């Protein structure tokens, strides 16, 4: 997570998460993903 401006797509910063492991039953590893969320989209507490 960063609160620094990162250009027009993330002007208020971003929160990055990894979606975990995707391992199918045959044991081969499938691709995993990172999700980038605009910081202003997250709820504030």
Domain residue extents for the chain? 1-45
What pLDDT does 18 receive? 87
What pLDDT does 20 receive? 72
Per-residue model confidence as pLDDT tens digits over 1-45: 999 999 999 999 999 998 776 666 676 666 778 899 999 999 887
What pLDDT does 32 receive? 75
Query: Hey, what long-range contacts does 2-10 have (CB within 8 A, 24 or more apart)?
Result: 2/39, 3/39, 9/38, 10/36, 10/38, 10/39
pTM (predicted TM-score): 0.66
What pLDDT does 24 receive? 67
């Amino acid at each position: 997570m960063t609160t620094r401006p990162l250009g027009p797509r993330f002007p208020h910063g971003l929160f990055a998460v990894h979606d975990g492991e995707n391992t199918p039953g045959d044991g081969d590893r499938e691709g995993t993903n990172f999700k980038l969320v605009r910081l202003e989209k997250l709820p504030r507490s």
